[in-house]
Amino acid sequence: MIVGPEPKAQRLETKIVHPMSHTLKASIKRGALIAAANWQVSVIQASADSLFKLLLAAPIIGGVFLMALAVGSEPESLLSLEWRQMVVTIASSLFERPVVLSAFLLSVAVVAVGGSLFVFLVKAGTVATLVRSDREAGPIEEPPLHVDVIARASRFSVESYMESARGLFPRYARLGFMLMGVYLLSGVAFLTLMARREAGEGWSPTALLAAAFVAWITVVNLVYLLVQIVVAADDCSVATAFRRVAVFLRRERQHVGTVFLLVLALIVAATGASVLATAALGLVAFVPFLGLAALPLQLLAWLLRGLVFQYLGLTSVGAYLILYRASTNRSIGTRSQSSPIYDHLPSQA
């Protein structure tokens, strides 16, 4: 049997690229370019997170020594215990000394609340800068890409950053304390379920419970990030932002899930590269003379790791913002003048 040429329509069908994959690629690309154009906010965000971790480590390390003195043992011997034995020893000792327990919890709470407020303030200015850049940048994701075109998309300035941070801070602080409350309730529920687990049940129920807890916290963090974006993009209240995020997730759940998985894959790859670099630097530290260069190299790797992870996080902010604005434009029947991408997102309704 002689096979003839394929019909023209069938040949063209194999060359068609799905509009969803093209649009999501353009969304992430635009988010990455906006984050790169406003690179200053990545530096500010990384510095704020590092400062918060250092501030939080101070009372915890001091608390370990305080607990060691209360227990009556050396800090080194306390830290050398297996973690369950250490937790039981510290908890039993602190409950016997309520003054020491109160001082430790108060010190951690003061630093945690104060540092969190500082992080909320910085995040408000960061998200507002990205929102303003996306609104005014134009179609920077369209080829050809030039450095000067991307640089003109920068909307960062100290004055506008501080003004936006002051304007959004009360709402971001309210939202942040709601997140901390969810964290606290989720942690208490998780520890309660773990404490009720029987000793002979094995590790399977524990692993499933831990996986469910991690998945729940991941969903909470995603909703928290989307609410932050909507509050800054629409300049609305936290309650209104929650309602709009619920509508947005119902319409664009597939797009949001795809962007989340793509960004998660990038973060996992960056984490793997960071672990390999840390292991390589650890081997260098054992080499005579070369070990002297290990400390500055480790500090440089730690700095680059923080910047890369912040950049990936801000890229996701830009991608989610683009999806939200496109969904909003479709719902009200308007066309965006900033980029053609907003008019080509397929609807999930």
Check if the beta carbon of residue 313 is closer than 8 Å to that of residue 130: no
For the cut 80, the answer to whether the pLDDT of residue 259 exceeds it is yes
The pLDDT of residue 12 is: 38
- pLDDT(289) > 60: no
Question: Per the structure block, which two tokens stand in for 140?
Answer: 């920077």
Tell me how far the alpha carbon of residue 149 is from its chain's centroid.
Answer: 28
Q: What pLDDT score was predicted for residue 175?
A: 94
- Side-chain-side CA neighbours of 192 within 13 Å: the count stands at 6
Residue 8 reports pLDDT greater than 60: no
Q: Tell me the per-residue pLDDT of 129-155, one tens digit each, with 9 for 90 and over.
A: 999 988 888 788 777 777 887 888 888
Gap between the Cα atoms of 303 and 301, Å rounded: 5
Calculated CA dihedral for residues 305, 131, 146, 157, nearest 10 degrees: -80
pLDDT digits (tens, 9 = 90+) for 99-119: 777 877 888 888 888 889 999
Residue-wise pLDDT for 54-109, tens only, equals 888 877 777 667 766 666 666 566 666 665 666 666 666 667 777 777 877 888 88
Residue 119: what pLDDT? 92
Work out the pLDDT band at 121, boundaries 50, 70, 90: very high
Q: How confident is the model at residue 10 (pLDDT cuts 50, 70, 90)?
A: very low
User: Predicted confidence band at 204 (pLDDT cuts at 50, 70, 90)?
Assistant: confident
Task: Output the pTM of the full model.
Answer: 0.78
CA distances from 213 to 17, 163, 190, 263, 268 (A): 38, 37, 7, 20, 19
Spell out a b/e string for 50-83, using b for 16 or more CB atoms within 10 Å of the CB, else e.
eebeeebeebeeebbebbbebbeeeeeebeeeee
Residue 156, both tokens = 């960062």
pLDDT for the residue 228: 94
The stretch 283-290 carries a mean pLDDT of 58
The answer to whether residues 150 and 36 touch, using CB atoms and an 8 Å cutoff, is yes
